[in-house]
Amino acid sequence: MVVVMRSSANDTDVDKVVKAIKDVGGDAFVSRGKHQTIIGLVGDLTHFAELPLHAYPGVEDVIRVSRPYKLVSNDAHPRPSTVWVGDVPIGRETVTLIAGPCAVETEEQTAEACRMAREAGATILRGGAYKPRTSPYAFQGLGEAGLDILNGVSHDLGMPFVTEVVTPADVDAVAARADMLQIGARNMQNFQLLKEVGMAGKPVLLKRGLTATIDEWIMAAEYVAHTGNLQIVLCERGIRTYEPMTRNTLDVSAVPVAQSLTHLPVIIDPSHSGGKRELVLPLTRAAIAVGADGLIIDVHPRPELALVDGPQALIREDLLTLRDILLRFTDAAGRQLAAPTEDRRVGAWGRSASG
């Protein structure tokens, strides 16, 4: 069960509802969105039935949610959410490009890759300071030094950035610098990490696990929401199947399915799904066509020298084609490229943009 508060509700109204729930032996989880507050109720529903919650000041609706995920379900929040990363929106009205190096290797490499990403139309940067790898002998990332490089490049370019956090102990350090925290595929069901990231209060990019069902993926998002943080973006990045010709199998059907079940934005990672540079652009077309709310793409100035995932990174000549795809396909889909708030009267490519 969830209580939806009116946009005009104040903290006192919310506190009264929370107290009433706790007085009958239940737990209340408050999630404050940009425009509306939702209170999730956990406990014996027969006790809640005795509460006249509709009559409390500031309450707009009380909804019984049958799905196991209460807070991210579109039963509780029928309007699709827009997640703001800095001043950049990710939501149903726009297509947002997140791009940059898969791994931060040096300051020069990171700065060049991020400039390339911006030229392609990216409004959010990505880069990995911590890299959980299958082999213990593979490059594991620069750690805090990588965070500092990303932070500096982000500041120089005036763009927010997202980076992965891999252990609960690193959450505070990453959250102090990054604008958005990423949970990678291997950590999708690291429940303690999900809770710590949720409590950091920053937007969260949650990648689907290698063998996770859509229900399991959404339940992982519920762990984040359970902390009171509904700033969650789901990312389909390919799942493991029997097919060896691609790194993973991109499940494009996951986008409309997840959008039909939750109010969260859903994006696609065409780089890690295909695993090959020549597949990234075709999968980008498919992502926009199927209704994805954004893309996260690897960029590298010299992929042949990359320490991580060089074969899937786009180079400068690819980015001209990527920019053209973004323009044509978003326009055909009746959407626009996301742009920072200050650029929204004239979009990133010189046409009217809405957010």
Averages of pLDDT over each 10 residues, the chain, 355 residues: 86 91 84 75 73 89 79 84 94 95 94 95 93 73 89 95 95 96 96 95 96 97 90 96 94 97 97 94 96 97 89 92 93 89 38 29
The pLDDT, as a whole number, for residue 355 is 29
The pLDDT, as a whole number, for residue 354 is 30
CATH 3.30.70.1140 location in the chain? 2-63
Query: CA 212 → CA 165, 188, 216, 237, 266, distances in Å?
Result: 19, 9, 6, 11, 16
Beta bridge partners of 181: 163, 204
Percent of the chain with pLDDT over 70: 93
Beta bridge partners of 32: 37
Of the CATH numbers 3.60.20.10, 1.20.1250.20, 3.90.180.10, 3.20.20.70, which one belongs to the domain with range 83-343?
3.20.20.70
The pLDDT, as a whole number, for residue 33 is 66
The pLDDT, as a whole number, for residue 95 is 96
The pLDDT, as a whole number, for residue 7 is 84
The pLDDT, as a whole number, for residue 297 is 97
The pLDDT, as a whole number, for residue 125 is 97
The pLDDT, as a whole number, for residue 85 is 96
Tell me the whole-structure pTM to 2 decimals. Answer: 0.86
Beta bridge partners of 266: 234
CATH 3.20.20.70 location in the chain? 83-343
The pLDDT, as a whole number, for residue 24 is 85
The pLDDT, as a whole number, for residue 4 is 86
CATH topology for 2-63?
Answer: Alpha-Beta Plaits (3.30.70)
The pLDDT, as a whole number, for residue 341 is 57
Distance CA 224, CA 204 (A): 8
